[in-house]
Structure 1
Amino acid sequence: MTEWAVVTGAAQGIGAVIAEFAVTAGYRVAAWDIDGPAVERTAAEIGDGCVASAVDVADEESVRAAAALLPEPPRLVVNNAGIVRFGPLLDLPLAEWESALRVNLTGTFIVGRTLAGPMGKAGGGAIVNLASVNGLAAAPHAGAYSASKAGIVRLTEHMAMEWAKLGIRVNCVAPGLIHAGMSDAIYADAEVRRVREGAVPLARLGSAEDIAAAVLFLGSEKAGYVTGQTLAVDGGLIKSTLAALPRPQSVDSVGPGGS
């Protein structure tokens, strides 16, 4: 029997690639996005294994209506929908702060809660939430984005603890410097791209495919004993602070007297 997956924010970028990977993995995919025409086009490009719905993840009634259209509870839910509202905190309009929190954090909560009950009654499954390295390490001028993504990390842990008894594993993927979708404007500047690539230990930007592969792994039985975890898919970026600092070779010896 074919199992269902729900992927939010699936009209373009990382979400569209996750939906495609899920179909390839054998799921029947419900692609949800607030942009109805765009997600319809994406679903058509993916093919028969994908159906589209216009869904506002920040609107509980919209999510409930879309969930009611599913012929059975999903086995996999991917909370990918999100928006960016960058800018210095001193100048950030309150409306933009609230908008980012509403879509990114509250949207993840609404979709997760709406689908977790039916999933539990059907035997469980997996939920994978999309955060960001911005939720693991603060960055200047990230506006409400960092706070919303940090909230998703903690919400993931909360969901995992409460819903384990329902047979639902909940994990999180935190993408690093990814050249896909919302980041296109950043990497249109060749010098910015060069500097950012140089900051990554693996010396390249990540791709939507890198993220989709991690999501499908966490959603699979290969990760059947993994829950409440956040996987940074960032080429080693957030672990590289000390690697970026200068160090004289004269200190590279073992013990106070040398090797």
Structure 2
Amino acid sequence: MKAVTGWAVVTGAGNGIGAVITRHAVKAGYRVAAWDVDEKAVTALAAELGASCVGTAVDVTDEEAVNAAMAALPEAPKLVVNNAGVVRFGPLLDLSVADWRAAVEVNLTGTFLVSRAAARRMIDAGGGAIVNISSINGIAAAPNAGAYTASKAAVIKLTEHMALEWGDAGIRVNAVAPGLINAGMSEPIFADPEVRALRQGRVPMGRLGSADDVAETVMYLGSPKAAYVTAQTIAVDGGITASALHKMPRPASVDSVGVEADSR
């Protein structure tokens, strides 16, 4: 029988990447508290995974609900994954304040509230790991992304901030920035074969990422193998955020320039 490694909390666990992260956590031996505003989805996930998963309807923007759900755990979580997120895409000139606030509240404030509630319990237990899901949109801005880019960039800085404040309590805080992942909120984008081909062609590794790619990185950051890793953001993106010059056309002659081209 696999030894249980303690409790994990996964937010936004009802569907997409969150559900896959939850399955990976259960496979790793955690007992998972799967949180989502979609009660039906997390109930179905918990039924699928059995006693190793407890599904609970939690709105991560509701401070009282978050604190109550965290207090209901029988012990401090060893791993917390802040995956809950929303998108409200559109040009900034037309973006409503309501849509701006929705993205900031869920993506940023929700990450803060869940992390703080977890940290309060982790401190008493001697530590733990928190993994925040950001995005490559938080590393490289994208047009027409509404508040998503700003909120995900803020998650990266919040990750660093929490890691510095809580590090001496044994709490490691890191972020994962998924790239072009064919899962979750991005599935409708890649449903168009032409768009899929164009986007996939921009990725240096030549393929779209999967929810499993993200989940594997999350599990590494939450594990003892990453015991000396904190305040970091790992882009799970096939190299796309580093690809400004990828496939950039240039004349073949510059591949063999000699001393005459030396500008020192």
Same fold (TM over 0.5): yes
SS in 2 for 1:48: helix
Alpha-carbon RMSD across the aligned residues, in angstroms, is: 1.3
Q: For residue 195 of structure 2, what is the aligned residue in structure 1?
A: 192
Q: Give TM-score scaled by structure 1 length.
A: 0.98
* 1:248 equivalent among 246, 251, 261: 251
Q: Deviations over 1:154-209 (max 9, x none)?
A: 00000000000110000000000001011111011100000000000011110000
CA drift at 1:254? 5.2
Q: Which residue of 2 is the match for residue 88 of structure 1?
A: 91
Distance 2:196 2:8 in 1: 34
Distance 2:246 2:39 in 1: 45
Matched, 1:235 2:238: yes
Q: Read off the aligned partner of 2:43 and give its amino acid letter.
A: E
* Alpha-carbon offset, residue 47 of structure 1: 2.4
Q: What one-letter code is carried by the residue in structure 2 that aligns with 1:99?
A: A
SS state of the match for residue 247, structure 1?
Answer: coil
> CA separation in 2, counterparts of 1:53 and 1:166?
28
Matches within 5 A, 1:33-52: 33-52=36-55
Q: Any residues of structure 2 matched to 1:197-212 within 5 Å, and which?
A: 197-212=200-215
Per-residue deviation, 1:107:
0.2
CA distance in 2, matches of 1:135, 1:255: 40
Displacement of 1:219 in angstroms is 0.5
Equivalent residue in structure 2 for 1:139, among 129, 133, 142: 142
Structure 2 CA distance for aligned equivalents of residues 234 and 256 of structure 1: 37
- Which one of 16, 22, 26 corresponds to residue 25 of structure 2? 22
Q: In the alignment, is residue 179 of structure 1 matched against residue 182 of structure 2?
A: yes
| Equivalent-residue separation in structure 2 for 1:70 and 1:255 (angstroms) | 66
Aligned-pair CA distance for 1:82: 0.3
Partners of 2:168 and 2:260 in 1: CA distance: 56
Does 2:68 align with 1:97?
A: no
One-letter amino acid of the structure 2 residue matched with residue 47 of structure 1: G
Q: Residues 95 and 251 (structure 1 numbering): CA distance in 2 closer, same or farther, change over 3 Å?
A: same
* Equivalent residue number for residue 127 of structure 2: 124
> What SS class does the counterpart of residue 256 from structure 2 fall into?
coil
Residue 70 in structure 1 maps to residue 73 in structure 2: yes
Distance in 2, Cα, partners of 1:232 & 1:208: 13
Q: How far off is 1:117 after superposition? A: 1.1
How many aligned residue pairs are there? 259
Q: Which moved more, 1:237-246 or 1:122-131?
A: 237-246
Q: 1:56 to 1:247 in 2, by over 3 A?
A: same
Which consecutive unaligned segments of at least 5 residues does structure 1 have?
none
State how far apart, in whole Å, the 2-side matches of 1:92 and 1:244 are. 34
The equivalent of 2:60 in structure 1 is 57
CA distance in 1, matches of 2:251, 2:5: 58
Amino acid at match of 1:198: G
Question: What TM-score, normalized by structure 2, do the two folds share?
Answer: 0.96
- Once residues 115 and 254 of structure 1 are traced to their aligned partners in structure 2, the CA distance between those partners, rounded to angstroms, is 57
Secondary structure, counterpart of 1:173 in structure 2: strand
Aligned to 1:153: 156
Secondary structure at 1:47's aligned position in 2? helix
Partner SS state of residue 73, structure 1: coil
- Percent identity over the alignment? 66
Q: 2:7 aligns with which of 4, 14, 24?
A: 4
